[in-house]
């Protein structure tokens, strides 16, 4: 009986030690937790969708971005890819991955490129940001900076108000940057959406970006997208801001 009690006590101690060890396990330290929030609403053509995904894949594997990651305090970033259109068509397409070298960057790029387009609905930018805020909160990473990177071509026309989504991100200490896709000659039926008063870049400046050092870049063509996204990643990873860019609080 005594031997049985001793065995039971040892078993309980072992389980307790395992539980304590698990509870004490520290979160993975990264320089940035970055959510790529990408517009796949019906104003985004299939060629623009390909432009977005190929741009991300090319930029994340570029020498400039890998060099920025390597020179960070932790030498690693956490990154995830979210697509949005209508308010009920928002979701994570590629879950959190840690990028710290060329191999892990290539894996993330391959994962993005392998996923089909998730939807073709309206444009719920606020819902996309809200989803990203939740992703960061639940990521489990110990990140020096937390950034949401919104890429799209039109104003928000459905779902959570942008002002509420931005306020939620700011309260959590998250920066929102933007990459606006500019339509040169949109058809009349599309113009009010993709070319709001002042233009889509101004719309992103006034309504989407948020936090110290936040900024908007704009793209017109495939080459511009790759260059802009590469520069954007470098700035976000290195924690620098675009010279002269607004940073509304």
Domains of the chain: which residue ranges?
A: 29-238
> How many CB atoms are located within 10 Å of the residue 153 CB?
24
Question: What is the secondary structure of 192-249 as a DSSP string?
Answer: HHHS-TT-HHHHHHHHT-BSTT--EEEE-SHHHHHHHHHHHHHHHHHT---TT-----
Q: What is the pLDDT of residue 246?
A: 46
Q: What is the pLDDT of residue 241?
A: 57
Residue 182 gets the label, from left (phi > 0), alpha (psi -120 to 50) or beta, of beta
What is d(CA 58, CA 227) in angstroms, rounded to the nearest whole number?
9
pLDDT per residue as tens digits for the range 84-96: 999 999 999 999 9
What are residue 215's phi and psi, to 5 degrees?
-155, 165
What is d(CA 147, CA 211) in angstroms, rounded to the nearest whole number?
10
Banded model confidence at residue 51, pLDDT cuts 50, 70, 90? confident
pTM of the model: 0.87
Gyration radius of the chain's alpha carbons: 21
For domain 29-238, give the fold. Rossmann fold (3.40.50)
């Amino acid at each position: 009986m005594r031997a049985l009690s001793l065995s039971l006590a040892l078993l309980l101690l072992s389980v307790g030690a395992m539980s304590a060890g698990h509870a004490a396990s520290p979160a993975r330290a990264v320089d940035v937790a970055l959510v790529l929030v990408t517009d796949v609403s019906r104003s985004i053509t299939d060629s623009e969708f390909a432009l977005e995904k190929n741009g991300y894949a090319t930029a994340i594997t570029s020498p400039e971005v890998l060099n920025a990651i390597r020179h960070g305090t932790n030498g690693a970033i956490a990154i995830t890819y979210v697509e949005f259109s209508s308010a009920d068509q928002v979701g994570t397409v590629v879950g959190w991955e840690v990028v710290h070298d060329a191999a892990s960057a290539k894996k993330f790029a391959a994962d993005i490129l392998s996923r089909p387009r998730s939807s073709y609905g309206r444009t719920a930018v606020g819902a996309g940001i809200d989803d990203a805020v939740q992703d960061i909160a639940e990521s489990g990473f110990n990140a020096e900076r937390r950034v949401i990177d919104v890429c799209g071509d039109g104003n928000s026309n459905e779902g959570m108000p942008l002002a509420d989504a931005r306020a939620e991100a700011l309260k959590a200490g998250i920066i929102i940057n933007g990459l606006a896709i500019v339509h040169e000659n949109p058809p009349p039926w599309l113009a009010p959406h993709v070319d709001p008063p002042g233009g889509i870049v101004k719309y992103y400046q006034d309504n989407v970006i948020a936090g110290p050092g936040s900024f908007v870049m704009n793209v017109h063509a495939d080459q511009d997208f790759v260059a802009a996204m590469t520069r954007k990643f470098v700035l976000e990873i290195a924690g620098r801001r675009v010279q002269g860019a607004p940073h509304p609080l």
